[in-house]
A and B are shown apart, each in its own frame.
Chain A
Amino acid sequence: MTSKNVHVKIDEMKTNAGLIKNLELSIGKVINDNYTEPMGPTPMPSVTALRDWDMKLLTKYKPFYMPDCDSCCLCTFGKCDLTAGKRGACGLDIGAQSSRIVMIACAIGSACHTAHSRHLVHHLIEKYGRRYPLDVGGLNVKVEAPVSRLVTGIKPETLGDLDDILTYTEEQITQILATAHTGQEANNLDFESKAFHIGMVDHVGMEVGDIAQISTLGYPKADPEAPLVKLGIGSVDRTKPVIMCIGHNVVPSVGIIDYAKDTKVDDKIEVVGLCCTSHDMTRYYTRARIVGPISWELRFIRAGLADVVVLDEQCIRTDVAEEAAKTNTPVIAASEKNCVGFKNRTNDSTDAIVEDLVSGKVKGVLVLDPEKVGEVAVRVAQAVAPIRKRKNVLPTAEEVVAIAKTCTQCKQCQRNCPQDYFIPAAMKAAAAGDLSKLTDLYEVCIGCGRCEQACPQKIAIHSLIVKAGEKSMECEDNLCRSGRGAVSDVEIRNVGSPIVLGEIPGIVAIVGCSNYPKGGKDVYDIAREFASRRYIVVLSGCSAMSAGSYRNSEGKTLYEEFPGGFEAGGVSNVGSCVANSHIAGAAIKVANIFAKRPLRGNYEEIADYIHNRLGAVGLAWGAYSQKAAAIGAGFWRLGVPVVVGPHGSKYRRMLLGRKEDPTNWEVLDARTGETVNVGPTPEHLFNVAETKEECIVQIAKLCMRPNDTWKGRAGKLSHYIDLHKRYLGVMPNDIHLYIRTMADVPITMKDEIGKILEANNWKETIIPDPTLLPRMVRKMK
């Protein structure tokens, strides 16, 4: 517990020890230093404090550039052509420029989370006070803020303590952004190191925000049995007024839910959410509904399903106001970060705001007081619903056919579709009266609306797709597990033995956004594949929603089919975007809990531990945002490999290991100091998978680590080989690189693999106590 500006004034006090008269004590800051762990080498690391570690990783996993854009137009020297080895006016080449853009993206993402957390912390301190104790998991969580402890050396105990942590993250974001200026950082690897740095900082920022809201808002606390909540627009009672909240910051939604409860209308309205706000709404109030990932904004608004739209921050379509106006849906902007051009009505009377919105005098308002947002939204929804009568802009089925007939098959829609879907073929079929192809598109469409922008005939293609999919849309009634928050210390201990003994082959974290190449079903399939194989599956954000949107042959959703714990075959949802920090936190806690490695300001050692020992892989099957880039970067610095879907190639570069180069795979054996070649474990730090099948195989392979026990390796290899055969049709060609002793060979495959080893001149090697840090080599006492 840290307190600021303490003043004590004693006029007179008599005690056994002495007499005190007119004592004034003024203390700038009182730090209650219960955190007895000695401070590690890098508390609050500066931009370069962990540069050596980054360079170790970047030597092993070299940037492989795939510039999505080969010019630079950031300054007025340009735009500069950077193709064919040319340098720009400032001297930068395409490699450094690509890495620079990665770094900028990560800084934007990190700023987004930190700003979100800063707002939450400000707001919650105002409401609950600086001394409000933090509690993320009661008695089952001793390590309450692993990322913050590791990076900043602070062990936060109260809301006020989070303030100091954010001060650090804010400074780092400023420092990093500064280096992107023209004529600053010159080297591509240094840009990468800075991207790693800001990714690390991002996880701190996220952790702060989620800890603050978990502690104050009564969310599930590290709870494997967090309630199952309704998911999908079909679960919404559309006879009631519907308030639809979009974004990431739960504060205005809390205002709405509180007002509805206080005025006892909570069972007369439906409060639903899109994107991470909806996760946090259900963590606060289980009757709230998650209606879908961020990419479904247009379909719901055009279908007229919302009576009021409330916008907070991040990942919100910037044309929501225009789209909502078409269906007479009033919009309330509730965040300073997204004012939508609306007039600021924060200080106006609620009655006046409600009247203006209900009468349609204004299309939207900016209200920066969450309690006022609550009252306005509830009252407007109730008043507007009977007037609007679910007005929508969807054509009738007959109109769809007629409109489709105006299509000239110029194919501009498909060319502009980020997914390259066969829209022209669907239009052709629709024109002939067959809407089935449009219905198929509904299932996979990411709702960006670029097809419409490109259409010379001005066809509202997206509306046609939504109309064709309307029936499926109305049936979307599934279940998601409410965000559980952190992984408890006890769960970490429970998985210790099965991980060591090879019963749990790995940990798969499925995170990120919803621009999947072929719809959310892939995410469901991937999660189910690994959960069935008794991997630990952890989800968050939009991926957690997509994973809950499908059912197995028995009609069970993923969250009903598998337990919600951090355990073999468990499928857990940590929560919203900021809850991603708990996934990194779980990895960090493994080092602290199993090996008792000190956390405090001890980043490099812990990252070295995680990189060499913990078979965890991150997957962002859809990864559109800068925030996703920042989250990924935070995992890179910890040495955790990340796989992205095809759109991830637009992050401009991959971090690829070269498995054919043996020197790439040398580690030190901490027992002896000897150099040992451990094979490509893990092979890459960041790479793209083009198909679901390739992705599944990649993940299984990337779970291998140099420290695997032979039992563990045999299990991991079994899955890798089986998945490779099943999905890619052949035996993998690199098995010999992963076998250290014959005991590593899966026992059912001894003959088969024995021949492969022979053909590759395989030689036995040892299983070291692996590290990349010479200082970790132990000395005999």
Chain B
Amino acid sequence: MSMFKDIPVDVGVIYEGERIRRNDMQVELGGPTVKQKFELAKVKPMNEIEDGKITIIGPDLKDLKEGGAFPFGILIEAAGAKLDAGLEGVLERRIHGYLNYIEGFMHLNQRYDIWIRIGKKSFQKGLNSFEPIGKVIYRLFKSELPIVEKLQVTFITDPAKLDELTPEAIQAYEARDSKARGLKDAEVSEFYGCALCQSFAPSHVCVITPQRYSNCGAISWFDGKASASIDPKGPVFAIPRGEIINEEKGEFSGVNEAAKQRSMGEVTKVWLYTAFDHPHTSCGCFEAITFYIPEVDGLGVVQRNFKGAAVNGLPFSTLADSAAGGRQIDGFHGMSIEYMRSSKFFAADGGWTRIVWVPKEVKEKVKDFIPADVVDKIATEEDAKNVDELKAFLKAKNHPVVARWEAEAAPAAAETAAITVNEEAAGTMMPVATAGSLPIMAGGFKIILKDAKIYANKVIIQTVKDEKKP
């Protein structure tokens, strides 16, 4: 490995999943028993960075007692003409990946929660200083991210210095988070498209905006920005936002154009903030799916790992199947959990006031982002196991959708049938025929059959599918 020939241990992607057990470790840095710990990336002006400088504040690795756990901080400071503070989070998360490439180096978690172990074997091979570790980080940043023009790395083990820097780091995370969450789609000129999963779902294109994470939950707008600038020809690309055609629904001329191009004309119009009419397409690997429940005129959400059936009687697998594969299906929307934290979360449909059922696990995760006046009105699997129970629950809690029931005519009985009939995945036996589907009963005729014999070689009975629109 010529790139790392002066590093005493091997460096490669294959060490990524390496775990170091307590008995095999030389030292632990950060981790659950240590309070002062952080890793932070900062973007600085060019003249403030000395490229390639590695600083160690406090005792070096070889001076830390074997078997101990120590407070620890990593500070990465970068500069580049195209770098801005918005990319700090992206740079910071690379630290985790890069450090794990080092043989005998385990890095878990991020930010103020880092947990590092150095393996005894690697220590004995010569990985006894932060110097080579800093070199690895430096070289990988420079090699993978040309937008990083200058970089310096600081390791801190000195407790006094950590007392000073840890609160600063925590402040920096908070500031970054609130800025990221505050960034609006309407304020940026570029969105990002991701065609990574086109390798498996060829007609899907994800549109990633500040207020809408990728469906898989893995790529934020900032990630998209970084990827697109690193490799403009790659699968993550900039989409000029273009004109705002419909602010409420989230329709942008640039998005429509990109969708049309990338889907070969399959999809021509995308509304980013709604589950209806022209929702965002659903790939194959979305974290959760939103589904329309016509009986209550509301939206339900079910996540991938939810065991059992959602409130409408269908499990995730069936619901996902009705939208997946890069299709745009009215009333269904595959999405990330992070999107539920966005203020544009189905904003055009009423946002959280339109959500009626969310499994407890997900609700807990996003609770802080649900408006206080509806949070208790949204049912979980503990409150409602079927649509009737859901109706009763919503009514009892006076969920905002209840007002819609009064405004509109009561949902037709046929709609109920359309949803409940589609139960094949539940493995239940289907009625061979229902009264309503026998043509013999249709119309105002009276039929009298006497001594009739009917023979058929084969009778095909199809369940009638009612493709009702919400």
What residues make up the interface of A, taking CB atoms closer than 8 Å to B?
1, 3, 17-34, 36, 131, 133-135, 138-142, 157, 488-490, 493-494, 496-497, 499-501, 532-534, 568-569, 590, 593-597, 613, 670-671, 707-712, 714-715, 718-719, 722, 741, 743, 746-752, 767, 769, 778-781
Contacts and interface: CB of A to CB of B under 8 A. Distances in A.
Interface in B391-442: 424-430, 432, 440-441
Given A494-B305, A534-B17, A781-B265, A18 B452 contact: no
A671 B432 CA distance: 44
B429 A748 contact: no
Given A34-B430, A709-B199, A712-B199, A722 B461 contact: no
A31 B459 contact: yes
B428 to A, nearest CB: 8
B333 interface: no
The 7 A-B pairs of least Cβ separation, nearest first, read A596-B325, A781-B265, A594-B284, A496-B285, A139-B315, A718-B13, A18-B447
Contacts of B265: 780-781
Given A748-B1, A781-B264, A28 B457 contact: yes
A576 B441 CA distance: 51
Contact of B424 (A34, A493, A708, A712): A34
Contact of A746 (B13, B217, B315, B318): B13
Contacts of B3: 748-752
Nearest to B425: A142
Interface in B50-94: none
A489 B305 CA distance: 11
Contacts of B175: none
Given A135-B427, A534-B17, A597-B325, A746 B2 contact: no
Kindly state the interface size class of chain B when it binds its partner. 35 or more
B454 A748 contact: no
Given A24-B452, A490-B317, A139 B2 contact: no
Given A30-B459, A31-B460, A748-B1, A590 B317 contact: no
15 contacts: A18-B448, A20-B452, A21-B449, A34-B462, A139-B308, A142-B315, A142-B317, A496-B283, A496-B284, A496-B285, A497-B216, A595-B202, A596-B325, A613-B199, A748-B101
Given A30-B461, A36-B462, A138-B427, A709 B305 contact: no
Contacts of B456: 26-28
B447 A595 contact: no
Given A500-B199, A747-B13, A749-B3, 8 more contacts: A20-B450, A24-B453, A139-B309, A157-B424, A595-B200, A718-B14, A748-B1, A748-B12
Interface string B187-199: 0000000001111
Given A493-B285, A779-B264, A594 B197 contact: yes
Contacts of B440: 17-18
Nearest to B219: A501
A743 B231 contact: yes
B194 to A, nearest CB: 10
B284 A593 contact: yes
A670 B432 contact: no
Contacts of A21: 448-451
A758 B430 CA distance: 64
Contacts of B326: 595-596
B272 interface: no
A494 B320 CA distance: 12
Contacts of A17: 440-441, 445-447
Interface string B214-243: 001110000000000001011100000000
B231 A141 contact: no
Contact of A710 (B234, B304, B447): B234
A671 B264 contact: yes
A497 B429 CA distance: 34
Given A18-B449, A497-B218, A746-B13, A741 B233 contact: yes
Contacts of B318: 142
B449 A32 contact: no
A769 B324 CA distance: 18
Interface string B179-210: 00000000000000000111111100000000
Contacts of B327: 596
A607 to B, nearest CB: 15
Interface string B316-348: 111011001111000000000000000000000
B127 to A, nearest CB: 16
A563 to B, nearest CB: 13
A593 B445 CA distance: 46
B124 interface: no
Given A142-B321, A748-B140, A708 B199 contact: yes
A32 B452 contact: no
The residue among A26, A32, A36 with the most chain B CB atoms within 10 A of its own CB is A32
Contacts of A30: 432, 458-459, 461
A596 B432 contact: no
A107 B336 CA distance: 47
Contacts of B308: 139
A23 B449 contact: yes
A594 B12 contact: no
A725 to B, nearest CB: 9
A5 to B, nearest CB: 11
Nearest to A770: B199
A3 B317 CA distance: 28
A107 B91 CA distance: 57
Contact of A32 (B199, B427, B461): B461
A30 B425 CA distance: 21
A34 B460 CA distance: 10
B459 A29 contact: yes
B99 interface: no
A131 B429 CA distance: 9
Contacts of A596: 201, 284, 321, 324-327
B11 interface: yes
A747 B284 contact: no
Contacts of A748: 1, 3-4, 11-13, 101, 140
B266 interface: yes
Contacts of A532: 17
B200 A707 contact: yes
A670 B202 contact: yes
Given A27-B456, A133-B427, A138-B427, A500 B461 contact: no
Contacts of A36: 462-463, 465
A722 B264 contact: no
A769 B454 CA distance: 53
Contacts of B198: 769
B462 to A, nearest CB: 5
Nearest to B16: A534
Nearest to A591: B200
A25 B454 contact: yes
A20 B432 contact: no
B143 A747 contact: yes
Nearest to A15: B441
The residue among A17, A134, A139, A534 with the most chain B CB atoms within 10 A of its own CB is A139
Contacts of A489: 317, 320-321
Contacts of A722: 12, 14
Contacts of B284: 493, 496, 593-596
Contacts of A28: 456-458
B264 A533 contact: no
Given A18-B446, A31-B459, A746-B13, A139 B285 contact: no
A670 B198 CA distance: 12
B453 A26 contact: yes
Contacts of A769: 198-199, 202
Nearest to A498: B285
Nearest to B314: A139
Nearest to A158: B429
Given A27-B459, A140-B315, A500-B285, A494 B324 contact: no
A671 B265 CA distance: 11
B271 to A, nearest CB: 19
B432 A32 contact: yes
